[in-house]
A = this chain, B = another copy of it.
Amino acid sequence: MARAKPARPDAGERRPSLVDDAYAAMKLAIRNSDFAPGYQASEQEIALRLGMSRTPVHEAAIRLQEDGLVRVLPRRGILICAIAPEDMREIYDVIIALEGQAAERVAGLPEPERLRAADALAAHAEAMAAAQAAGDLPAWGLADEGFHRTLVEEAGNGRLIRIMQTINDQSHRARMLTLRLRRELDASVTEHRRIIDAIREADGPGAHRHAREHRIRARDTLLPLLNDFGLRHL
Majority DSSP secondary structure for residues of A touching B: helix
In the bound complex, what is the Cα–Cα distance between A158 and B17 (angstroms)? 32
Contact of A159 with B94 in the complex, beta carbons under 8 Å:
yes
Contact of A157 with B62 in the complex, beta carbons under 8 Å:
no
Residues of B contacting A158 with CB < 8 Å?
90
| A96 contacts the other chain (CB 8 A) | yes
Question: Number of contacting residues on A, CB 8 A?
Answer: 30
- Residue of B59, B68, B73, B163 near A59 (CB, 8 A) is B59
Contact of A74 with B163 in the complex, beta carbons under 8 Å:
no
Contact of B93 with A157 in the complex, beta carbons under 8 Å:
yes
Of the stretches A97-105, A115-123, A141-149, A195-203, the one at the interface is A97-105
**In the complex, what's the smallest C-beta–C-beta distance from A227 to chain B, in angstroms?**
18
Residues of B contacting A100 with CB < 8 Å?
97
Contact of B14 with A74 in the complex, beta carbons under 8 Å:
yes
In the bound complex, what is the Cα–Cα distance between A71 and B11 (angstroms)? 12
Residues of B contacting A105 with CB < 8 Å?
93
Contact of A101 with B90 in the complex, beta carbons under 8 Å:
no
In the bound complex, what is the Cα–Cα distance between A157 and B96 (angstroms)? 13
Question: Using a CB-CB cutoff of 8 Å, which residues 68-88 of chain A contact chain B?
Answer: 68, 71, 73-74, 87
Contact of B93 with A97 in the complex, beta carbons under 8 Å:
no
Contact of B163 with A163 in the complex, beta carbons under 8 Å:
yes
In the bound complex, what is the Cα–Cα distance between A101 and B160 (angstroms)? 15
Residues of B contacting A17 with CB < 8 Å?
74
Q: What residues make up the interface of A, taking CB atoms closer than 8 Å to B?
A: 12, 14, 17, 58-59, 62-63, 66-68, 71, 73-74, 87, 90-91, 93-94, 96-98, 100-101, 105, 157-160, 163, 167
